[in-house]
Chain A
Amino acid sequence: MAATLPPPRLLPSGDSAITVEFSRSIDDAANRRVLALDRAMAAEPVTGVTETVPTYRSLLVHYDPEQVDFDKLGAQILALAQRPVPATTRTRRWRIPVVYGGEHGIDLEDVAKTLNTTPDEIVARHVAGDYRVAMIGFTPGWSYLSGLEKSLHMPRRQNPRLLTPAGTVSIGGVQTGVQCLAGPSGWHLLGQTAVRTYQLHRDPIFLLEPGDNVTFVSVDAKTFAEQDRAAEAGEFIAEQIAS
């Protein structure tokens, strides 16, 4: 018998969405419960629910208030959230090639200095990690990964950059991430991948799913350039490997 799980908090996000909060902090167990609830709601659609959005610590449930109200939907969500979290879920594992440092990862040297080690050692620690897509958010395909080794935890930049390159692989706080589109970021840029987590006119348009496992492999700049051309033509580049 599983012990009773603490119920999530049901927080109103306006009249058409509920934030189902499992934790206030980044917490692996909470993220697993978020993803489990997300799967449960996909498997057994609840009347009125239009879309679910998993994040680190909460599931945002969009719904149509013409079909179901806050109290009724909230009760159904609480019941679903009481289900035990599956110990193992079938997940996919991706290997993502990254060219580290230089123009592709302009913060690698500084990160090494700050952490009193060498760039090679930072890369070695980053590729040794076993990560999970905790959430995808902010802009299309921006994948937030949990599982960053403690020695790589560091505060975000004081001044976020207004523009960082497409495909940037970076670290910030206790997280690492892969962004697809060029855009603002306050994280430390370690490298760049040719993998497009979002690409129109490719099937699938979105490569990664919340809950997928990810590892990185270091490649040189020449390989990156070749992969980038292939990715532009629609290839995944990311390799799906046995879990």
Chain B
Amino acid sequence: MSKLVIASIGPASSVQDGGRPGAQRYGLVPSGAMDRLALAAANTLVGNEPFTAAVEVGPFGAKFTARGAVRIALAGAPRSADIAGRAVASDTSATLDDGETLTLGFARGGSFSYLAIEEGIKGEPMFGSLAVNARAGLGSPYPRPLQSGDELQAKAASGAPERRIELPAATDAPIRVVWGPQDDEFADETKKLFLDSEWKISATSDRMGYRLEGPVLRHLHGHNIVSDGTVSGSLQVPGNGQPIVLMRDRGTSGGYPKIATVISADFGRFAQIPAGRAFRFQAVSMAEAQAEARRFAALLRTLPERLRSIESVDLNIDALHDANVAGHAVSAVDAGTWHAESLADMAGPD
């Protein structure tokens, strides 16, 4: 057995996987990775099933020291990364020798990176998942965000050749939504305002919800509705008219009108938008959203076909690295807000 010892880590970092659906009728949200494509890519690089548990690294830096050799892969938000001074590009695998330290910089142009470990993180699944849901006391090996000194048991590195993975090019296209379930609580002009405006994600955001900053969206009949079920991507509008997009650790029910829902294929891309960067929404039809969902599922299934040997791109690594450190936006999640009781106006039963 080898292990990764966490020498340092910022807030908003936790073990996540595909989550634990199936108990939302009891108020238990599935949790799971904010960006499922990045999680799946990192796992695919080290030969794991796509939704194997990995470390979801928040916007801040982190250092992991290997005891015994450990093979890892990194995908998601661009950030600087090196093992004992050797640069590690995003979307590649790499191996730490005994005693070496992997150093991750701040996320640049995204929020979450995924550090997958060959054969996964060892832990005790609850409801079939290791994903951390601190409020529910769930998650393994630690039922809370990761801290310095934590240890992740890992298989000794196989020595398999390192890989890179070719993912579809990143895009700044608008985040697509379908209207509903309560878009009839808003006037047509308000829906138009929603689509025609630039939005920013507030720094007071977390895995429960992302607060949006933009024009005030007025309700037709007030902001209290009888609680109904929520999904990841529900765009609820509380009394102050500033929408909150419900994320992976959302409450399973909520009592504010939901004007629209982020389509599942765009959810991870939305989750990665850094705080303060302007973006727009675009409404699409249900047929288009479902076609995109099917395309996204096909992409996840075919990730192994996108693996490449690493030698063939030696010349491009610098370019990839440069691309990864481009961008100046700050992250969606900052140290000051992550542990706050947070989102008081979406919290509480109603």
Contacts and interface: CB of A to CB of B under 8 A. Distances in A.
Among A19, A50, A198, residue most surrounded by chain B Cβ atoms (within 10 Å): A19
A13 B27 contact: no
Interface in B307-348: 341, 344, 347-348
Interface string A122-143: 0000000000000111111110
A62 B24 CA distance: 10
A70 B263 CA distance: 13
Interface string A57-70: 11110100110011
A184 interface: yes
A32 to B, nearest CB: 15
Contacts of A136: 25-27
Contact of B289 (A14, A54, A186): A14
A12 interface: yes
Interface stretch (A106-114, A156-164, A215-223, A233-241): A156-164
B159 interface: no
A81 interface: no
Contacts of A17: 229, 231
A82 interface: no
Interface string B272-289: 000000000000001101
A82 B264 CA distance: 30
Interface in A30-89: 38, 50-60, 62, 65-66, 69-70
Contact of A15 (B28, B178, B230, B234): B178
B253 A137 contact: yes
Interface of A: 11-17, 19, 21, 23-26, 38, 50-60, 62, 65-66, 69-70, 135-142, 144, 156, 160, 162-163, 172-173, 177, 179, 181, 183-187, 198, 200, 205-206, 210
B27 A15 contact: no
Contact of B227 (A56, A65, A156): A56
Interface string B253-268: 1100010011111000
A57 B294 CA distance: 30
B253 A206 contact: no
Contacts of B253: 53, 55, 135, 137-138
Contacts of B109: none
13 contacts: A19-B228, A21-B228, A23-B226, A25-B226, A51-B25, A53-B253, A55-B226, A56-B227, A142-B27, A163-B341, A186-B348, A200-B126, A206-B26
A39 B330 CA distance: 47
A156 B228 CA distance: 18
Interface residues of B, number: 51
A138 to B, nearest CB: 4
Contact of B349 (A11, A53, A58, A142): A142
B225 interface: yes
Given A69-B290, A70-B290, A56 B234 contact: no
B167 interface: no
Contact of A186 (B24, B25, B180, B350): B350
Contacts of B25: 38, 51-54, 136, 210
Contacts of B341: 162-163, 184
A187 B228 contact: no
Contacts of B263: 14-15
Contact of A137 (B21, B229, B231, B286): B229
B32 to A, nearest CB: 14
Given A17-B231, A65-B290, A179 B349 contact: yes
A213 B349 CA distance: 20
Given A26-B226, A51-B21, A135-B253, A16 B28 contact: no
B233 interface: yes
Given A14-B234, A140-B135, A186-B348, 5 more contacts: A14-B264, A50-B22, A69-B290, A144-B227, A181-B135
B76 interface: no
A167 to B, nearest CB: 15
B137 interface: yes
Question: In the complex, which of the residues B26, B135, B253 has the most CB atoms of chain A within 10 Å of its own CB atom?
Answer: B26
A185 B344 CA distance: 9
Contacts of A70: 286, 290
B181 interface: yes
B180 A13 contact: yes
A60 B264 contact: no
Contacts of B179: 12
Contact of B251 (A51, A58, A139): A139
Interface string B210-238: 00000000000000011111110110000
